[in-house]
Every structure is written in structure tokens, then in C-alpha cells.
Amino acid sequence: MVRAIVGANWGDEGKGKITDMMAQESDVVIRFQGGANAGHTIVNNYGKFALHTLPSGVFSERTTNIIGNGVALNIPVLFNELNKVIEQGVPAPKLLISDRAQIVMPYHVLFDQYEEERLGKASFGSTKSGIAPFYSDKYAKIGFQVQELFDEEYLKEKISRVCTQKNVLLKYLYNKPEIDEEELFNTLMEYRKMVEPYVADVSLYLHNAIKEGKEILLEGQLGSLKDSDHGIYPMVTSSSTLAAYGAIGAGIPPYEIKKIVTVCKAYSSAVGAGAFVSEIFGEEADELRRRGGDGGEYGATTGRPRRMGWFDCVASKYGCRMQGATDVAFTVLDVLGYLDKIPVCVGYELDGKVITDFPTTRELEKCKPVLETLDGWKCDIRGIRSYDELPENCKKYIDFVESHIGYPITMVSNGPRREDIIYREPKI
């Protein structure tokens, strides 16, 4: 069976922990989109890890981990990450890389940095990992697929053709040094040596795995609100973050995806610019940020402090709908145990009217949160494994959120470790 794990919001929902947990019962885990511009934090018996490109199944010895064709593949970043995981005592994972995956080129990272500098105050808050220039080239059909590394004459010709275009921009738009074609070719030959033992026809591999009845897990990056089509455009990522894209980014039929676990935080957080209706500020935000996540709410890739907010039912309902959620995993609930009262955003005020459906970006930027306040439970819930043992107000909070988003909360995470999970019978 094929399952997908995706985010309902702005990313940072705790997908890494859920993937790590579900990978223990999966034969294959595949990253199907995005690049090294966001990370998944995982805490397990090997230690604490921030994965950026590696699938979160690398900690399971039974699992084959796949970089799908939809991934923005930064080859040195991937192998640096792989080496660090092994150095921390994790057995060398089984790894496959799609021969159709496209490569983040060194100049993509530079163009990302140069464009953010050029835009100044109008910048997108990019992680400067080269993701937007990479996807621009992919759809302009001047990107480089892994399979192209193995045809040297063709590669040299393509490098020359692409560099002609890139160097015009570097010279006249950014006033930066031009690309040396020979140096770039030599770099790509180094990349080839690194990936060669792992390259495979991933779509065929997955076709056979499905026929054999293997358990396959699709792992997404970021969340619904960062989707390039359905998110808070233009403050989005450059790929589709939706489970539906998992079929494309992995190379499987869409009807094979049977279960979509959509991850929501028990409060809200976001990295980067863009509309964020339930955002909070000052000491209230600082306190939640300090207590949040595992060791604070800071970007796993950038280290930037995350923007903080209360749980947003409007955004989360929309995010679950766009993902096609069959199950909701509700994470970091334990963080809220310090609060006497817990505000929840249940609607948006837009032009004097209250709405409960997520609007387009221009309207979203005019929205104000409509809050409803619930009683807190004022205790530590880590270590609890049964839903019935949770404090009454904690259960009321979960029930309240479930009723407002309209999708079944079947898992509740009450701590950073793999075993900090409570399975729940939904009420809707």
C-alpha cells in the first residue's frame, strides 16, 4: 500500500517525526519534491537529526530510501548529510536516486543569493538554497537530469549552451563573475562519481514494489500553504507540496495513494515572509517559541526564529482539504501545557464580515483573526500513551480542533521521540 505524509500549513508541522515513526513499518520511503531548503527534525534512539534531503526512513534498516524525480537534488549536500548520519552511528542506509531527478547546480545557489540581494526589501525570504532558480530552469527545459551526467559530449555541449544565457545575466544584471564552463564540467564529473552507485530507474522499482505488495511511504516537504499553486502565492516554495504531486514526483499512478496523513501542529509557526493571520508577537510569541518544537522553534535549515501563532482552523481546514487528508496527525500538543488559556483562530474578519473558508492571498493580507479561547490543562502530558489518560481540557482542545477542521485526528504527538504518540478514535 502507498501512503503519503504531508503538511497542512506552512511547513514545520512535525512531519519528520511522523515519517520516522511510520518508516519502521515501511519497505520504501521516498522524498517526492522540494530540496534542501527545509528540514525535518527527528529524535530517536540514534540521537537528534535535522534531515534536509535524505528521506526520514534512513533510520530503519529494513527500508529502502529513494530520492524521487521531483526532488531538487543538491548532490554534495545530500552526500554530506549521508556521511554525517553514518558518523553518528546510523547503519549505512539503502539509498536509490532517480535517474530523472534534476540537479541543483552551483550557479542556482548563487543566482538565488544575487536575486534576494537585488530585490532588497521586496525579497521572498528565500533560504538561498537555489530552489527557485532550479525550478525555473527545470520548466524552461535547461535543467540537468542525473542521467545526463553519463553522456560527456552531450553534457559539454549543453553546458556551453546554458552558460551563454547565464553569463549574460551574471554580467549585465548582477555584475558578478561569469561561469567557467570547464570548471562546471569538472564539478559535474565529481557529482557523477558520487551518485553513480545509487542511480536507478525509480519509477520501475516502485512499479515492481507495488506489484509485490510492499509498504511505500511518500514524504513531502513544507505544507499546503507553501504550494506553488494553492498556497499564499507568491510567498510560496517553487514546487507542489501536495500529496497529489507525490504520484508525479515519485513516478507512480495517482490511484495507488490509499492513505494521506496530513500533519498539523497544535499551534502555528512559519519561516519566511507571507500572510499569517493568527500570528502573535512580543513576549507571548517569544515564550511559545522558546517552549515549542524540540529545543525551540527555529528553522531546521536556516536556524531563523520561526514566526509564531495560535492554531488556525481556517488555514488548517483548507490545508487538509487540498491534501485530501484521510488522517490528521496532531503534533507538539505537549508544548501548550504551560498556558492557562489557549486562543484558537476559528475565523477571519474580512471587510467587516467573518469568513471560515481560506481566501486568496490579496484578501488574506486584509484578514484579522477571530479567536475563541479554551481552558488549558496546565500539566505535562509527555509520557501518556492512552488518549483516555489525557487531561479533560486537553481532550476538549483536540475535539474542538477536529470539529472545526472537519478531518479526523487519528494520531496525537505529545513529545519529540518516536514513541511519543497516542492513537485516537476520531469523533467525526
Q: Shortest CA distance to 20 belongs to which of 415, 426, 336?
A: 415
Cα distance between residue 78 and residue 71, in whole Å: 11
User: In the structure grid, which three cell numbers stand for residue 7, read together?
Assistant: 503538511
Active site residue 404: no
Select which of 20, 40, 227, 327 is catalytic. 40
Select which of 12, 112, 327, 334 is catalytic. 12
Active site residue 112: no
What amino acid positions are annotated as catalytic residues?
12, 40
